[in-house]
């Protein structure tokens, strides 16, 4: 039996993406639609959405709808467009007063209003569509108030009587914490008694915490992270609450959209390759190093980095060991990212110190991300915490052997290479320290020096399957249990 799934998120690729949330919010719904479910995505119509080449039309019966923001009645309309490579409808909430900003996130209290509006507008649209989804799937703090709205402001409507809510925690570092006075602006003025009282007493409202209290099921994006979240080291203050709800907390590793990320078919690559013929990888490495102004020395391992540059990603550990290895002429480096200036300067410093051996591209580039995945020999992801992570899985598919810290989805996706058996897919280290990373890098370089061992390692990784066909099926199973279909 087909399920109705209402998906709400602040990011959906290719319309709006700053990280993995955008990827997952496109790929998982795409899978669900492909296997026959009725999935509808709701996303703000950000003015930053590049609508060239998109077929976006206004929905006749979703024009000039109204919601209150505090004392102000605010009107919005809805446009729709199919998700690329899928027929599933994406509904874009058009409200220039809220979504005409330079980027996806505006920062500050503005975002509380912008994203609570997304949740409420999505529910209003479902009413106008006379649609009662089996599942409302909310993502991160942005849409975490939805379960409470369903229990309060929208509880009068029989339409949603059998609907169930899932809240996925992609990144607990962002909780959506605002001053308590925001309650009126986000439609919770009358519902203070349903909020976390200690927080209100302390003068705050946490969107994520409210979602954790009221969602029927909580998920996070890897089994290991589901355990980590319940510990003091990783719970970011919400561990007690998550422990209380541990019977309703499930970890499902993210999947990879192999339509996008496959070296045999990648739209960005000129030279394709597969496990049976890796020559395209060598050619890509040559072309990319040339293009980026690196010396072309095919024997030197090329290290790749593609990341948001935040403390989460662990780059504090790598700069010194990389500086030494670059200085000793043992590696080349290509890094792509943007974020905190201390990391941008650190990578820029490596480029300045080692021209021809290290290059840093400050910014965001889908094209370069694909080229780096294909050209690099080793991919570096030393994260302090990583709920799932996608790039380690892309890297495995591209024969780009990952060095990762053993945490969250990195621990679940990468197996430590064992030289005695030839098994394993990459290099892992446990302790969050420069030395631990240095040892992992040394192990990787030592292995790289043995071409046969390296080839085996690449093959091991390339044969792993992290497709959404597998991971998405786990969500369907979960939805069915929740909706009482099984």
Considering only the stretches 16-24, 194-202, 327-335, 477-485, report the one whose residues sit in contact with ligand GLC under the rule CB under 6 A: 16-24
Cα gap 233→246, rounded to integer Å: 17
3-state secondary structure at position 380: strand
Place of tokens 């996806």: 104
Using CB under 6 A as the binding rule, the residues of this chain from 394 to 453 that contact ligand GLC are 409
Two tokens, residue 187? 């439609």
Using CB under 6 A as the binding rule, the residues of this chain from 239 to 268 that contact ligand GLC are 254
Two tokens, residue 152? 């309060």
> Shortest Cβ distance from residue 390 to ligand ADP (Å)?
4
Considering only the stretches 150-158, 349-357, 382-390, 453-461, report the one whose residues sit in contact with ligand ADP under the rule CB under 6 A: 382-390
- Counting residues that bind ligand GLC (by CB under 6 A) gives 14
| Residues 317/305, Cβ–Cβ less than 8 Å | no
- Counting residues that bind ligand ADP (by CB under 6 A) gives 18
User: Is 457 an interacting residue with respect to ligand GLC (CB under 6 A)?
Assistant: no
Cα gap 260→405, rounded to integer Å: 25
> Shortest Cβ distance from residue 10 to ligand GLC (Å)?
11
Choice from 7, 16, 23, 183 touching ligand ADP (CB under 6 A): 23
Task: Please report which helix (H) or strand (E) contains residue 287, including its range.
Answer: helix 279-291
Q: Which is nearer to ligand ADP, 242 or 256 (CB)?
A: 256
Cα–Cα distances (Å) from 70 to 22, 39, 65, in that order, read: 30, 31, 16
* Cis? peptide before 14, omega within 30° of 0: yes
Q: Torsion-angle region of residue 85: left (phi > 0), alpha (psi -120 to 50) or beta?
A: left
- 260: DSSP letter: T
Cα gap 453→431, rounded to integer Å: 26
Cα gap 67→65, rounded to integer Å: 7
Choice from 14, 17, 19, 432 touching ligand GLC (CB under 6 A): 19
Burial environment of residue 36 by CB neighbours within 10 A (0 to 12, 13 to 18, 19 or more): exposed
Mask: binding to ligand ADP, 329-348, rule CB under 6 A, as x and -?
A: -------xxx----------
Picking from 141, 150, 134, 83, the residue whose alpha carbon sits closest to that of residue 116 is 141
User: Is 369 an interacting residue with respect to ligand ADP (CB under 6 A)?
Assistant: yes
Considering only the stretches 125-133, 273-281, 383-391, 394-402, report the one whose residues sit in contact with ligand GLC under the rule CB under 6 A: 383-391
User: Is 391 an interacting residue with respect to ligand ADP (CB under 6 A)?
Assistant: yes
Q: Which does 391 bind (CB under 5 to 8 A by kind): ligand ADP, ligand GLC, none?
A: ligand ADP
Using CB under 6 A as the binding rule, the residues of this chain from 288 to 317 that contact ligand ADP are 306-308
Using CB under 6 A as the binding rule, the residues of this chain from 167 to 226 that contact ligand GLC are 170-171, 221
Chain residue at closest Cβ approach to ligand GLC: 20
Residues at the site binding ligand GLC, with contacts judged by CB under 6 A: 19-21, 24, 170-171, 221, 254, 386-390, 409
- In the complex, the residues that contact ligand ADP under the rule CB under 6 A are 19-21, 23, 306-308, 336-338, 364-366, 369, 388-391
């Amino acid at each position: 039996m087909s399920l109705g799934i209402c998906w709400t998120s602040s990011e959906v690729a290719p319309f709006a993406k700053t990280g993995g949330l955008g990827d997952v919010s496109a790929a998982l719904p795409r899978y669900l639609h492909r296997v026959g479910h009725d999935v509808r995505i709701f996303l703000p119509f950000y003015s930053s959405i590049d609508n060239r080449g998109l077929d976006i039309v206004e929905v006749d019966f979703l024009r000039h709808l109204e919601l209150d923001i505090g004392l102000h009645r605010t009107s919005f309309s809805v446009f729709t467009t199919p998700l690329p490579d899928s027929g599933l409808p994406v509904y874009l909430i058009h409200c220039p007063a809220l979504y005409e900003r330079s980027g996806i996130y505006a920062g500050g209290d503005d975002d509380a209003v912008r994203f609570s509006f997304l949740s409420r507008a999505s529910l209003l649209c479902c009413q106008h569509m006379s649609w009662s989804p089996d599942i409302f799937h909310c993502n991160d703090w942005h849409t975490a108030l939805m379960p409470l709205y369903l229990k309060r402001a929208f509880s009068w409507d029989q339409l949603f009587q059998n609907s169930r809510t899932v809240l996925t925690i992609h990144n607990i570092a962002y909780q959506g914490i605002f001053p308590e006075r925001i309650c009126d602006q986000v439609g919770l003025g009358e519902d203070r008694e349903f909020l976390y009282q200690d927080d209100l007493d302390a003068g705050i409202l946490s969107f994520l915490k409210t979602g954790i209290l009221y969602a029927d099921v909580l998920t996070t994006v890897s089994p290991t992270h589901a355990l980590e979240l319940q510990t003091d080291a990783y719970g970011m203050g919400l561990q007690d609450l998550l422990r209380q709800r541990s019977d309703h907390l499930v970890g499902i590793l993210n999947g990879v959209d192999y339509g996008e990320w496959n070296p045999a078919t990648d739209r960005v690559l000129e030279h394709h390759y597969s496990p049976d013929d890796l020559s395209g990888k060598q050619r890509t490495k040559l072309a990319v190093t040339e293009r980026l102004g690196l010396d072309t020395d095919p024997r030197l391992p090329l290290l790749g980095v593609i990341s948001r540059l935040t403390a989460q990603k662990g780059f504090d550990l790598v700069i010194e060991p990389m500086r030494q290895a670059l200085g000793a002429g043992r590696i080349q480096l290509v890094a792509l990212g943007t974020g905190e200036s201390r990391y941008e300067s650190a990578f820029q410093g490596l480029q300045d110190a080692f021209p021809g051996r290290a290059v840093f591209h400050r910014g965001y580039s889908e094209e370069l991300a694909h080229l780096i995945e294909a050209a690099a020999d080793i991919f570096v992801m030393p994260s302090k915490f990583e709920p799932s992570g996608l790039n380690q899985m892309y890297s495995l598919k591209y024969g780009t052997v990952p060095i990762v810290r053993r945490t969250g989805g990195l621990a679940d996706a990468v197996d430590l290479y064992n030289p005695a058996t030839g098994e394993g897919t990459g290099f892992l280290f446990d302790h969050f320290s420069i030395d631990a990373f240095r040892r992992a890098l040394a192990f990787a370089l030592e292995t790289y020096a043995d071409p046969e061992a390296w080839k085996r390692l690449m093959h091991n990784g390339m044969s792993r399957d992290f497709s959404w066909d597998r991971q998405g099926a786990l969500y369907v199973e979960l939805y069915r249990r929740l909706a009482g279909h099984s």
